[in-house]
Chains A and B, each alone.
Chain A
Amino acid sequence: MSQVTVGTTASSRPAADEPPSVGNPFRLALGVMAENRVALAGVIVILLMAGFSFIGPLVYHTNQISTNLSGSLRPPSSAHPLGTDNEGYDELGRLMLGGQTSLEVGLAAAIVATVIGMLWGSVSGYTGGVVDGVMMRIVDGLLAIPSLFLLVYLFTVFQASVLLMVLVIGLVAWLVPARLVRAETLRLRTLHYVEAVWMMGGSRRRMITRHIIPNAIGTIMVNATFQVADAILALASLSFLGLGIPPPAANWGGMLSTGVNYVYAGYWWLIYPPGIAIVLTVMAFNAVGDGLRDAFETRLRQR
């Protein structure tokens, strides 16, 4: 997995004084996917999951709004390929609906976390001195509180909704990207091209938005991918603890939380499908992130 060679950078190695050319990060990412089979598999699984969740309901119509208690807890049959749950919802259709929520919240929360972390980290690293010290101690202090404890508290106080879920998970998860981007900023700050921009009178804002962040985009993209995986896990864990988005909205963690009550009854169709869906999706995002990291690190080593 670690033997990824990236064609775009090997040929055009930049000289020491030039800005470290990133190439087009998206083209680089595409190159990775073509060559790294594990990462490619990850992309395929993500696309399949998205298709299943968003296109599936258009083909496979189920009633996911009104309950049907007389038809609840049925084992898989031709009418319900994955059976029905305790409220009579079709499990397969519910899986699709749950996938929508999980993917939407995962992606959106990752974007929130990444944007906040990126800005915080680059400002902190670029400014340096006391400001940097204070900003980083704030990050450390927040990191000291395990995220799940913070999330459980916040959703005990506030009633969860999709939007709030995205904001809160994102607001709790920005710490790691902030640290990574700061470290990257400290490295970039010492490069000659940054000094050159400064000499020419480039403002701090210009420096950060035009020069630091674009060059840290590799680190940021890799972490953003992992953030999606983490956010999906966080949503699932919260829903499992009974603090997720209230019904009739569905998500995989919440479905599992219902299934738990029937572990001893042997109703496997309430437990395996949502669990496998979570594990597959999270694994896929982690695989893509891993592939991207290998690619970017290879690029750094070649430099």
Chain B
Amino acid sequence: MITYTLRRLAQGLAVVVVATFVTFLEAHLLPGNPARAILGVHASNAQITAFDQANGYDLPLPVQYVDYIGRLLRGNLGFSYQLNQSVAALLSERLPATVILVGLSVVVALICAVPIAMLQAVRRNKPVDYTLTSASFAFYSTPTFWLGLMLIMLFAVKVHVFPPVAPQGTAIQVLAHPLGLVLPVATLAFTSIAAFSRYLRSSLLDNLAEEYVRTARAKGAPRRVVLYRHVLRNALAPLITLIGLSLPGILSGALITETVFNYPGMGLLFWNSAQSQDYPVLLGVTIVIALGTVIGSLLADLLYAVVDPRVRYQRQAR
């Protein structure tokens, strides 16, 4: 387990290096130079020079990259001149709200996807299975923003059940208004429900065809016990990896969801910064999101190795 963990950590570190390199390149993609893009067209030459010196933009690129890594390591994500606040401070306000949104939606998606997939696997190729397959197909193909709009039209405009706009303020204030969370969480969860249940259905079917199922049945174990104790447990393990792999997609979905519902998270911050061309914030959010994805998939892989010991031996043997 220790070797496996170390190997995965080393891989994760390599991935983080590449991701920081990408954001570094992104900063240098800016038209003209970063100073001009960040300070605006009206900045004087003296201001530009001062900015370049203060941020090390006058140094050679490799040195700049090393500096950039050093600043990231010290938790310095940059400074938003438009909001006159450090990006780290902005993020510490917004990050918890996004974690709540993403976390809740993954939990909801799992709670819904497991029974749906079980029903489909047990009633394979029956009308229920076909109906649910088509439904998950439709949801999988529906853009997040359209889904959000439909939910607003249905539950906020036609029937006034839930508010159309997410609660505002800090993460705690958001949590204090659970009604306002329903539509955003549902919007984000639907795509994951479709993806998870499709995956789990085929995973369950694969497991049902395994020899160990026949052995357990032959031994006299009731169908129900075999299904819950053996098949479901075996089929659920790979789902952990799928969640890790889906994280980038879910975060992209969170960006849209937060925009649709004006949800005060990182995605909305990102979108607002894109509109005001606040590049330091855009770059800061990108690197934090990338880190979150890497840590998420790392945790998923390690958890999978704990749940299913076959994984770590297999990988080591290779």
List residues of A whose CB falls within 8 A of some B CB: 1, 137-138, 140-150, 152-154, 156-157, 229, 233, 236-237, 240-243, 253, 256, 260, 263-264, 266, 271, 275, 278-279, 282-283, 286-287, 290
Partner of B141, one of A137, A146, A242, A282: A282
Q: Give chain B nearest CB distance to A245 CB in angstroms.
A: 16
**How far apart sit A138 and B157, CA to CA, in the bound complex (Å)?**
46
B289 and A253 within 8 A (CB): no
| CB contact list, B247-300 vs A, under 8 A | 248-249, 251-252, 255-256, 259, 270-271, 274-275, 277, 279, 282-283, 285-286, 289-290, 293-294, 297
**Which residue of chain B has the shortest Cβ distance to A268 in the bound complex?**
B153
Structural contact, A146 and B251, CB atoms closer than 8 A: yes
Collect the chain A residues with CB atoms within 8 Å of residue B153's CB.
263, 271
- Given A149-B252, A153-B274, A156-B282: A144 in contact with B294 (beta carbons within 8 A): yes
- Residues of chain B within 8 A of A146, CB atoms compared: 248-249, 251-252, 255, 289, 293
**Distance between Cα atoms of A237 and B22 in the complex (Å):** 22
Assess whether A147 is in contact with B248, with CB atoms less than 8 Å apart.
Answer: yes
CA distance A143 to B293 in the complex (A): 9
Contact A143 B248 (CB under 8 A): yes
Residues of B close to A243: CB separation below 8 A: 274
14 pairs of residues in contact across A and B, judged by CB atoms under 8 Å: A137-B18, A145-B289, A157-B29, A233-B143, A240-B256, A241-B256, A275-B149, A279-B138, A279-B142, A282-B142, A283-B137, A283-B138, A286-B137, A287-B137
Expressed in whole angstroms, the Cα–Cα distance for A236 and B147 within the complex equals 13
Taking a contact as CB atoms closer than 8 A, the residue among B143, B274, B275 that contacts A278 in the complex is B143
The answer to the question of B15 belonging to the interface, with a C-beta cut-off of 8 Å to chain A, is yes
**A156-B149 contact, Cβ under 8 Å, with A144-B293, A146-B248, A147-B252:** no
Contact between chains at B286 and A153 (CB < 8 Å)? yes
Task: Known pairs A156-B274, A156-B282, A275-B149; list 17 more (Cβ under 8 Å).
Answer: A137-B14, A137-B15, A137-B18, A140-B15, A141-B19, A142-B22, A143-B293, A146-B251, A149-B251, A149-B255, A153-B26, A236-B143, A237-B144, A240-B256, A253-B143, A275-B150, A286-B137
Which residues does chain B contribute within 8 Å of A242, judged by CB atoms?
275
Asked if B222 is an interface residue, CB under 8 A from chain A, the answer is no
Q: Tell me whether chain B's interface is mostly helix, strand or loop, or mixed.
A: helix
| Pairwise interchain contact A149-B157, C-beta atoms closer than 8 A | no
- B192 on the A face (CB < 8 A): no
Which residue of chain A lies nearest to B273 when distances are taken between CB atoms in the complex?
A: A156
Name B's A-contacting residues (CB within 8 A): 11, 14-19, 21-23, 26, 29-31, 133, 137-138, 140-146, 149-150, 152-153, 157, 248-249, 251-252, 255-256, 259, 270-271, 274-275, 277, 279, 282-283, 285-286, 289-290, 293-294, 297
Complex CA gap A256/B143 in Å reads 11
CB pair B149 A263 closer than 8 Å: yes
Q: B188 CB to closest chain A CB, in angstroms?
A: 13
Give chain B nearest CB distance to A85 CB in angstroms: 16
The answer to whether A152 and B271 have CB atoms under 8 Å apart is yes
User: B292's closest neighbor in chain A, by CB?
Assistant: A144
Interface contact B256-A237, CB-CB below 8 Å? yes
Q: Which residues of A contact B249 (CB under 8 A)?
A: 146
Contact of A137 among B11, B23, B293 (CB under 8 A): B11
Assembled-state Cα–Cα distance A229/B140 (Å): 11
In the assembled complex, the Cα of A229 lies from the Cα of B146 at a distance in Å of: 15
The one of B14, B18, B152, B271 in contact with A142, judged by C-beta atoms closer than 8 angstroms, is B18
Complex partner residue of A237 from B14, B19, B143, B293, CB under 8 angstroms:
B143
